[in-house]
């Protein structure tokens, strides 16, 4: 910007209706009164006078000090009022309703989050969104690395018809990280009728439209984050078109025979235990931005989320695992509160860890974080076996951290504030 443009931009401070000039004038008056008070004080000290005012020596001694005190206090009151109102006038466009009277608190929390650790979360689905919902209150240096293997529902249709990456998990992360989360969640989860636009959610259509406007999916996520005032970044683990496949235990009828089921949405419906999952194509390149954030992270959190269809698809990208191992960050695996029907039926915490080791080898993370509150009443449609059991002696080669992480209203899910606080405490200890 040249000098002329800068001058023109600065002159806008004089435009009517900004609501700042009055407070600047009040600030100037307050400074003048403070200056007069100091001047009275200095004159009293330098020129004490003859000691009489209308025959009252005590009045002669106190009167200049009284004037100095009154002018000084009045000036300070005007300066404080002007600064407070000036700050409110400047910040009001960036505050949500109800925050106008707590500018200092908003600013303090913003600065504290800016100084927070660099956190990378890896996963997908509602589990990752819950974690992000809690972490955004602790740091803005937050990056979510999200799976792109989703092929069901609205995301699958958009992926098949328009060739975009499946937007569903990215939509969940955007709403979780947005400032006005409640309203945005309702908006982004809103689904149109089948006769309107094929039953797609507004959030999926929004991200797809941004992808078409910006020309690529990464740019669409970046611009969407700006529009929605998102605290953090959301990145895909890979930009390649991958299909998640599962090798099942037992016999299953699939096209072409064999025990392999193709498609993330079909895996939980097979009804058979999962031996392993893998990607087709099997060797895909990781998204460079995801690798950079992992290598620079202070804390890496894997999970929570569906073990085989949300967490592992990211870790099957070979370079993602290499970057995690190379990073000096504190690495935490967050085990699910409840089993995932069709994926982890009957799994305890040790079985989750063993499944991860079968796919990526041992030692990928330092801590295993699990819920130890198993006495919560469950809804009638959920059996007691739905909760993931914890036997502390079965977790080897990792530091097990057991804590109450359950959401009291939804006891099959994590409580975002509890989970985020526990994870951040692990980061601070190391």
> What per-residue confidence (pLDDT) applies to 322?
96
> What per-residue confidence (pLDDT) applies to 318?
94
Give a yes or no: residue 103 inside a domain: no
Share of the chain above pLDDT 70, in %: 80
Q: What are the φ and ψ backbone dihedral angles of 119, each rounded to 5 degrees?
A: -115, 135
Give a yes or no: residue 264 inside a domain: no
> What per-residue confidence (pLDDT) applies to 58?
46
CB 423 within 8 A of CB 332: yes
Which of 36, 59, 93 lies at the terminal end of a domain, its last residue?
Answer: 93
CB 361 within 8 A of CB 395: no
Q: Which pTM does this prediction carry?
A: 0.75
Q: Which residues of the chain have pLDDT under 50?
A: 1, 50-56, 58-59, 254-257
Indicate whether 46 and 152 sit together in one domain.
Answer: no
Give a yes or no: residue 155 inside a domain: yes
Give a yes or no: residue 259 inside a domain: no
Q: How many CB atoms lie within 10 A of CB 102?
A: 12
Give a yes or no: residue 104 inside a domain: no
d(Cα 359, Cα 316) in Å, to the nearest integer?
8
Indicate whether 303 and 230 sit together in one domain.
Answer: yes
SS3 letters for the chain? CCHHHHHHHHHHHHCCCCCCHHHHHHHHHHHHHHHHHHHHHHHHHHCCCCCCCCCCHHHHHHHHHHHHHHHHHHHHHHHHHHHHHHHHHHHHHHCCCCCCCCHHHHHHHHHHHHCCCCEEEEECHHHHHHHHHHHCCCCCCEEEEECCCCCCHHHHHHHHHHCCCCCHHHHHHHHHHECCHHHHHHHHHCECCHHHHCCCEHHHHHHHHHHHHHCCHHHHHHHHHHHCCECCEEEECCCCCCEEEEEECCCCCCCCCCCEEECCCCHHHCCCCEEEEEEECCCCCCCHHHHHHHHCCCEEEECCCCHHHHHHHHHCCHHHHHHHHHCCCEEEEECCCECCCCCCCCCCHHHHHHHHHHHHCCCCCCEEEEECCCCCCCCCCCCHHHECCCCHHHCCCCEEEEECCECCCCCCCECHHHHHHHHHHHHHHC
Indicate whether 300 and 161 sit together in one domain.
Answer: yes
Which of 42, 62, 93 lies at the terminal end of a domain, its last residue?
Answer: 93
Q: What are the φ and ψ backbone dihedral angles of 401, each rounded to 5 degrees?
A: -120, 115
CB 172 within 8 A of CB 157: no
Residue 123's DSSP bridge partners are: 146
Q: How many CB atoms lie within 10 A of CB 252?
A: 15
Which of 62, 93, 124 lies at the terminal end of a domain, its last residue?
Answer: 93
Indicate whether 45 and 84 sit together in one domain.
Answer: yes
d(Cα 371, Cα 374) in Å, to the nearest integer?
8
Indicate whether 85 and 119 sit together in one domain.
Answer: no
Indicate whether 231 and 338 sit together in one domain.
Answer: yes
Q: How many domains does the chain have?
A: 2
> What per-residue confidence (pLDDT) applies to 379?
72
> What per-residue confidence (pLDDT) applies to 361?
95
Cα–Cα separations (whole angstroms), residue 192 to 106, 116, 157, 205: 36, 39, 14, 10
Cα–Cα separations (whole angstroms), residue 360 to 61, 211, 342, 354: 85, 32, 22, 10
d(Cα 212, Cα 216) in Å, to the nearest integer?
7
Q: What are the φ and ψ backbone dihedral angles of 67, each rounded to 5 degrees?
A: -60, -45
Give a yes or no: residue 249 inside a domain: no
The position carrying tokens 């939980």 is 268
Q: What CATH number is associated with residue 225?
A: 3.40.50.10680
Indicate whether 355 and 325 sit together in one domain.
Answer: yes
Give a yes or no: residue 342 inside a domain: yes
d(Cα 145, Cα 122) in Å, to the nearest integer?
5
> What per-residue confidence (pLDDT) applies to 93?
63
Give a yes or no: residue 256 inside a domain: no
Tell how strand 330-334 and strand 233-236 pair up.
Answer: unpaired
> What per-residue confidence (pLDDT) applies to 52?
45
Spatial CA neighbour of 301 closest among 279, 284, 324: 324
Indicate whether 40 and 189 sit together in one domain.
Answer: no
Indicate whether 15 and 153 sit together in one domain.
Answer: no
CB 275 within 8 A of CB 250: no
Indicate whether 193 and 340 sit together in one domain.
Answer: yes
Residues 6+ apart with CB under 8 A from 250: 259, 272, 273
Indicate whether 356 and 289 sit together in one domain.
Answer: yes
Indicate whether 67 and 125 sit together in one domain.
Answer: no
Residue-range definition of the domain harbouring residue 300? 113-240+270-429
């Amino acid at each position: 910007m040249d000098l002329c443009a800068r001058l023109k931009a600065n002159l806008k401070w004089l435009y009517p209706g900004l609501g700042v000039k009055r407070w600047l004038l009040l600030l100037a008056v307050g400074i003048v009164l403070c200056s007069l008070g100091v001047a009275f004080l200095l004159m009293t000290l330098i020129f004490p006078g003859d000691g009489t005012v209308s025959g009252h020596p005590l009045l002669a001694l106190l009167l200049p000090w009284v004037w100095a005190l009154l002018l000084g206090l009045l000036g300070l009151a005007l300066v404080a009022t002007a600064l407070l109102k000036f700050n409110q006038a400047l910040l009001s466009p960036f505050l949500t309703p109800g925050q106008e009277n707590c500018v200092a608190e908003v600013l303090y929390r913003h600065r504290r989050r800016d100084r927070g650790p660099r956190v990378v979360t890896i996963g997908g689905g509602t589990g990752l969104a819950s974690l992000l919902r809690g972490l955004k209150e602790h740091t803005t240096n937050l990056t979510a690395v999200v799976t792109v293997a989703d092929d069901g529902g609205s995301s699958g249709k958009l992926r098949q018809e328009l060739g975009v990456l499946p937007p569903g998990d990215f939509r969940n992360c955007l709403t979780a990280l947005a400032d006005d989360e409640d309203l945005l969640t309702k908006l982004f989860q809103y689904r149109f009728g089948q006769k309107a636009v094929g039953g797609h959610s507004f959030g999926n259509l929004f991200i797809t439209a941004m992808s078409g406007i910006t020309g690529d999916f990464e740019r669409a996520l970046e611009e969407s984050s700006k529009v929605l005032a998102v605290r953090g970044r959301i990145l895909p683990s890979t930009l390649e078109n991958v299909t998640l496949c599962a090798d099942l235990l037992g016999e299953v009828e699939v096209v072409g025979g064999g025990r392999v089921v193709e498609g993330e949405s079909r895996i939980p419906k097979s009804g058979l235990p999962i031996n392993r999952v893998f990607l087709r194509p099997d060797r895909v390149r990781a998204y460079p931005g995801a690798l950079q954030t992992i290598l620079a992270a202070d804390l890496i959190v894997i999970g929570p989320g569906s073990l085989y269809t949300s967490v592992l698809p990211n870790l099957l990208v070979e370079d993602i695992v290499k970057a995690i191992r190379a990073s000096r960050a504190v690495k935490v695996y967050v085990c699910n509160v409840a089993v995932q029907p069709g994926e982890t039926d009957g799994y305890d915490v040790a079985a989750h860890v063993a499944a991860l080791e079968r796919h990526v080898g041992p030692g990928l993370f330092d801590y295993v974080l699990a819920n130890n509150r198993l006495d919560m009443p469950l809804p009638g449609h959920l059996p007691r076996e739905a909760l993931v059991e914890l036997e502390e002696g079965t977790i080897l080669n990792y530091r097990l951290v057991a804590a109450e992480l359950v959401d009291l209203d939804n006891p099959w899910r994590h409580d975002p504030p509890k989970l985020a606080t526990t994870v951040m405490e692990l980061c601070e200890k190391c």
